[in-house]
Structure 1
Amino acid sequence: MFFQRTSSSAHGAHDKPLRYLLLFHDLYFIALIILAVASGGYGIYLWDKASAQSQRINFVIQEIYLVRGDLYRQTKELFDAFFLQEENALHEYNQYTTSILAHLERLQNIAIDQQEREALMEIERKYRSLVNEAPALFYRYQNNPNRKAQKSIYQDIETGIFRHYEEVSKRAEYLLMVKQEEIKHRLDDARSNSIAVLSMPLILGCILIIYSRRILKNSIVRPINDIMQATNAISAGNLSHQVPEAGAEELAVLSREINKMAEDLAASRDALVKSEKQAALGLLVPMLAHNIRNPLASIRATAQVIDDPLLDKDTQESIQGIMHTVDRLERWTGSLLSYLHPIKPMLNQLLLSSIVQGAVSTLQPKLDEKQIAIIEDSANVKQLILTDEHLLEQMLYNLLLNAAEASPKGAEIKILCSLANNLLTLVMIDQGPGMPFKPDPHALTPGPTTKRFGTGLGIPFAFKVCEELGGAMSFESDAGRGTRITITLPQ
């Protein structure tokens, strides 16, 4: 029994070992965790940055409002000092000046770009201008204390200094509002980007699950199922079942070893059956041959005794028929014993032509009877060959006998011989009708025969001789065109 072992080329390259698959799986998970942490950290960073910027702008706006409030209260203290003659008004006025300058200094410290600095410096300039101009207006009122001068002071402060300050303050507030709106949009973009970035680990996690499931199925689960099915089939006696060598490297090696084990078990089983069959035949055939040969010898001896030239023609033909039949039975039992007994080749250095001529000369009467010509070129092999003379001659005799009996009258049988690369090749070609069956070199019983009185042992014996000599034999047959036998014997 032969197995066609599944090779790695038939299934493509094997997968990586299990340790590599597990390492890849772990690294993939670690990369996924790192990506998730990085994505979350990036989102938090964007959010914190935007939040800090928004808080800064709110702080700047609050400081501007505080400056405005202190400015109005400072102006009130100035009115109280000049119109109500309050003693602490000027002291509180100076305190508000110190507070406003501190606010303006803080605003300059938290400004982050040139545009903000210029707007805050403009506020500070307008404030200093107001601080410098307002006392002068009140001193002018003291020099001309009437309602018209008082009204002029209100108008100058309200429409002049305060209006300019309010315009500058509003421009700064508008600038900060624009920046705050930009930050809001930036927060919205950061939120959208964070959702997109944070969704990537989820998507990659789903891909990892699908890919891991596929790898697990193709590299582990399916090969294990194939191995389990194969072990069940092999344990049930189906030793021809093959396990696909697929999956992880360890499983592929296990599958290959199971296939080799099944092949070895099949070979052992066939060898055991063959040896048991051979042993049974070896016990039975010698006993049958002994019991058959003794009566055959008596029958032939009797036929020889009664054979007399004076007898009539029919009687003589009958006696000759008896002797021929006894001879055929003798040859049958001899061939059967030769097939069953162990063969021990005795190798010697010989000329191939002498062996071929020995086989042909033994068969010459049969060849002459059918007028068959033997065409052979064994003389071309001038180098001595290493073989067993009697076994090779007997094998060639059996094959030539089969070819002669299958060939028509007046046909040719060719024997082509060659020796190259330490390999002796013999090709025998006949012109018979072809063989109706293909000889099996591993048959456990004698093969079929096409001859009326054949034993079917000629070809099995030839196979056995080839095997003992380390060679091989093959048959090619076409219906109606003859048979081609190729024998190769290593030297």
Structure 2
Amino acid sequence: MSAHPKAKSLKHVLLIHELAFFLLVILAGTAGVIGMRIWDKSSQESQRIHLMVQEIQQTRGDLYRQMKELFDLYFLKDPNAQEEYNAYTLSIDAHFHNLLDLTADSEEKAAITELNDGYRSLTRETQLIFTLANNDNHIDLEQVLNTHLESNIFHRYELISARAEKLLLMKHGELSSRLEEVRHTAFTLLLIPIGLALLLLVFSRIFLNRAIVHPIRHVLDATREISTGNLDYHAPEEGVAELAELSAAINIMAEKLAHSQEALVRSEKQAALGLLVPMLAHNIRNPLASIRATAQVTDHEQLDQETRDSLAAIISTVDRLDRWTRALLAYLHPLKPHAGHTTLRQILQGALTPLQQKIQEKQLKLYLPDWESINDQLFTDENLLEQALYNVLLNAAEASPQAGELLIICHAFTDSLHIIINDEGPGMPFTPDPHAASPGPTTKRFGTGLGIPFAFKVMEALSGHIHFNARVKGGTSTEITIPRNYQSD
């Protein structure tokens, strides 16, 4: 078993998780910086407009004070009026200089320039007033103060000043609207990272449960089940790659433990049988030999037929028990292959030679492979493979009906030979178990039940495989795969 091909490693998942949080921090920080910069810029703009309005109001205040000095000169004959008037002129010039520095566009600059020109026109008129005051021309001075200065030039300056203030107030209103929009935008930009962070939190919780928490729980369940002896339990191979690989490793471990347990049980049973059977065989075969010898000696032509048939049955039964005992001893004996160069054709001929009489008795039609078209070279234990094939062919021949067909097919591959033996018998009444620790059942009158287990044992010793399959039209198909080159462990 292997991990899911799309599973990502825990390191990769954590990296993505950290990058997502890092991007959220960057997004939140960017939104905050943008909002702060916009707010700071708007605040500076608001402060600039406020300063311009304040400068215009201070300019108007100084201008009124200048006008007061003119009236003090006319009505109070104040000798310091000219000097104080000039001081206010310098202050107003400074205000206009500050206003020009504070302008941000041509429209503002044009408004301040127009206001400054209006003030210059006013100062030129006031110079005439000071001249008339020095010449004591009170009639002309009163006319200039009452009509020309107050109703014309000063009124025009007030209109220009009002327009400039209106422009600045309008800009201040626009700035307030922009600040409100910035506030909403900043709030929206702040909500986006918060919303993404909440989504990431929910997603992280779901992902962690699916990719880490649940797989770890399954791994713990698997370890508990396996520790109690349930080696058939399989942990789901899910989650991140590391946990999926861990589950796969646990499943493989459980399978190997199950195989090891089966092998251990089989070895223990084999060992027990290996100790018990030789002793039983010795204690059984000696009495059997005495019984057979007594039956043979007793058998005489003068005896009636029934007695002679009973003695023959005794001898036949003793021979069958002796064959069973010898077969059981051979089955329990450890197999040590001795490989050599040979051919499958030679091995099959050796296996078929003892069966010729049975094949002729049942009039079986035997079909052999076309050896001329097959490379059947082998490096294996000829004797063991011949015994295994003999047992399989013997079962097939005895199971076949009278005048039936016995078909042997061979497929040659680069590293192995694939042998198929088909018969037309009734089929096998049981499924052979290659791991059986004792002989299987038998349907033959004088069978020992050791033919198929012995074939399994030979295939295991020669690194081959044998399978028994039921044919669709009846009978059994035995498939044997044997490597071309046997390699001892």
**TM-score scaled by structure 2?**
0.91
Q: Provide closer, same or farther for how the CA distance between residues 38 and 354 of structure 1 changes in structure 2, counting only shifts above 3 A.
A: closer
Q: Provide closer, same or farther for how the CA distance between residues 89 and 256 of structure 1 changes in structure 2, counting only shifts above 3 A.
A: same
Asked whether 1:442 is paired with 2:435, we answer: yes
Asked whether 1:459 is paired with 2:452, we answer: yes
Q: Provide closer, same or farther for how the CA distance between residues 465 and 68 of structure 1 changes in structure 2, counting only shifts above 3 A.
A: same
**What does residue 255 of structure 1 align with?**
247
Instruction: Output the CA distance in 2 between the equivalents of 1:466 and 1:267.
Output: 18
Q: Report the Cα offset of residue 74 of structure 1.
A: 0.9
SS of residue in 1 equivalent to 2:214: helix
**What does residue 70 of structure 1 align with?**
62
Q: Report the Cα offset of residue 384 of structure 1.
A: 4.7
**What does residue 147 of structure 2 align with?**
155
My pick for the range that moved more, 227-236 or 359-368, is 359-368
Q: Provide closer, same or farther for how the CA distance between residues 86 and 385 of structure 1 changes in structure 2, counting only shifts above 3 A.
A: closer
Instruction: Output the CA distance in 1 between the equivalents of 2:344 and 2:82.
Output: 143
Q: Report the Cα offset of residue 222 of structure 1.
A: 2.1
1:416 partner amino acid: I
**What does residue 275 of structure 2 align with?**
283
1:430 partner amino acid: D
Q: Report the Cα offset of residue 87 of structure 1.
A: 1.2
Structure 2: gaps of 5 or more residues? 485-489
1:119 partner amino acid: A
Tell me how large the CA RMSD over aligned residues is: 2.5
Instruction: Output the CA distance in 2 between the equivalents of 1:68 and 1:377.
Output: 125
Q: Provide closer, same or farther for how the CA distance between residues 351 and 219 of structure 1 changes in structure 2, counting only shifts above 3 A.
A: closer
Asked whether 1:475 is paired with 2:468, we answer: yes
* 1:184-263 paired onto structure 2 within 5 Å: 184-263=176-255
Query: 8 Å contact 2:406–2:421 — kept in the other structure?
Result: yes
Instruction: Output the CA distance in 2 between the equivalents of 1:192 and 1:439.
Output: 81
Instruction: Output the CA distance in 2 between the equivalents of 1:108 and 1:351.
Output: 113
SS of residue in 1 equivalent to 2:161: helix
Q: Which digits, 9 at most, give the CA deviation of each residue in 1:218-271, with x for residues without a partner? A: 332222212111110110101222233333444344333323332332222111
Query: 8 Å contact 1:418–1:425 — kept in the other structure?
Result: yes
**What does residue 94 of structure 2 align with?**
102
Equivalent of 1:353, from 340, 345, 355?
Answer: 345
Q: Report the Cα offset of residue 127 of structure 1.
A: 0.8
Query: 8 Å contact 2:339–2:379 — kept in the other structure?
Result: yes
**What does residue 42 of structure 1 align with?**
34
Instruction: Output the CA distance in 1 between the equivalents of 2:452 and 2:113.
Output: 119
Instruction: Output the CA distance in 2 between the equivalents of 1:395 and 1:87.
Output: 146
Q: Report the Cα offset of residue 152 of structure 1.
A: 6.4
**What does residue 120 of structure 2 align with?**
128
2:405 partner amino acid: E
Query: 8 Å contact 1:15–1:219 — kept in the other structure?
Result: no
- Give the count of matched residue pairs: 482
Q: Report the Cα offset of residue 477 of structure 1.
A: 0.7
Query: 8 Å contact 1:353–1:378 — kept in the other structure?
Result: no
Q: Provide closer, same or farther for how the CA distance between residues 23 and 347 of structure 1 changes in structure 2, counting only shifts above 3 A.
A: closer
Instruction: Output the CA distance in 1 between the equivalents of 2:481 and 2:400.
Output: 24
Query: 8 Å contact 1:352–1:378 — kept in the other structure?
Result: no
Q: Report the Cα offset of residue 151 of structure 1.
A: 5.8
**What does residue 318 of structure 2 align with?**
326
Q: Report the Cα offset of residue 281 of structure 1.
A: 1.0
Q: Provide closer, same or farther for how the CA distance between residues 308 and 393 of structure 1 changes in structure 2, counting only shifts above 3 A.
A: farther
My pick for the range that moved more, 22-31 or 409-418, is 22-31
Query: 8 Å contact 2:418–2:482 — kept in the other structure?
Result: yes
Q: Provide closer, same or farther for how the CA distance between residues 480 and 278 of structure 1 changes in structure 2, counting only shifts above 3 A.
A: same
Asked whether 1:423 is paired with 2:416, we answer: yes
Q: Report the Cα offset of residue 289 of structure 1.
A: 1.7
Query: 8 Å contact 1:435–1:479 — kept in the other structure?
Result: no
Q: Provide closer, same or farther for how the CA distance between residues 434 and 479 of structure 1 changes in structure 2, counting only shifts above 3 A.
A: farther
Asked whether 1:387 is paired with 2:380, we answer: yes
Structure 1: which 4+ aligned runs deviate by more than 6 Å? none
SS of residue in 1 equivalent to 2:438: coil
Query: 8 Å contact 1:356–1:378 — kept in the other structure?
Result: no
Query: 8 Å contact 2:469–2:478 — kept in the other structure?
Result: yes
Q: Which digits, 9 at most, give the CA deviation of each residue in 1:350-381, with x for residues without a partner? A: 34334323332322333333333333237546
Equivalent of 1:337, from 305, 329, 333?
Answer: 329
Asked whether 1:432 is paired with 2:425, we answer: yes
1:386 partner amino acid: F
Instruction: Output the CA distance in 2 between the equivalents of 1:115 and 1:266.
Output: 92
Query: 8 Å contact 2:69–2:81 — kept in the other structure?
Result: yes
1:393 partner amino acid: E
Structure 1: gaps of 5 or more residues? none
Query: 8 Å contact 1:43–1:190 — kept in the other structure?
Result: yes
Instruction: Output the CA distance in 2 between the equivalents of 1:350 and 1:340.
Output: 27
Query: 8 Å contact 1:434–1:479 — kept in the other structure?
Result: no
**What does residue 86 of structure 1 align with?**
78
**What does residue 362 of structure 1 align with?**
354
1:33 partner amino acid: V
1:188 partner amino acid: E
Instruction: Output the CA distance in 2 between the equivalents of 1:128 and 1:382.
Output: 122
Instruction: Output the CA distance in 2 between the equivalents of 1:99 and 1:269.
Output: 108
Q: Report the Cα offset of residue 402 of structure 1.
A: 1.4
Q: Which digits, 9 at most, give the CA deviation of each residue in 1:130-152, with x for residues without a partner? A: 11123435756867645x97366
Equivalent of 2:160, from 168, 179, 195?
Answer: 168
SS of residue in 2 equivalent to 1:267: helix
Query: 8 Å contact 1:434–1:480 — kept in the other structure?
Result: no
Q: Report the Cα offset of residue 93 of structure 1.
A: 1.5
SS of residue in 2 equivalent to 1:233: helix
Instruction: Output the CA distance in 2 between the equivalents of 1:204 and 1:397.
Output: 76
Q: Provide closer, same or farther for how the CA distance between residues 422 and 92 of structure 1 changes in structure 2, counting only shifts above 3 A.
A: closer
Instruction: Output the CA distance in 2 between the equivalents of 1:106 and 1:425.
Output: 106
Query: 8 Å contact 1:432–1:480 — kept in the other structure?
Result: no
Instruction: Output the CA distance in 2 between the equivalents of 1:318 and 1:371.
Output: 32
Q: Report the Cα offset of residue 410 of structure 1.
A: 1.7
Instruction: Output the CA distance in 1 between the equivalents of 2:148 and 2:411.
Output: 134
Instruction: Output the CA distance in 2 between the equivalents of 1:29 and 1:315.
Output: 101
Query: 8 Å contact 2:345–2:376 — kept in the other structure?
Result: no
* 1:309-324 paired onto structure 2 within 5 Å: 309=301, 311-324=303-316
1:462 partner amino acid: A
**TM-score scaled by structure 1?**
0.90
SS of residue in 1 equivalent to 2:407: strand
Q: Report the Cα offset of residue 323 of structure 1.
A: 2.5
Query: 8 Å contact 1:471–1:489 — kept in the other structure?
Result: yes
Query: 8 Å contact 2:376–2:417 — kept in the other structure?
Result: no
SS of residue in 2 equivalent to 1:363: helix
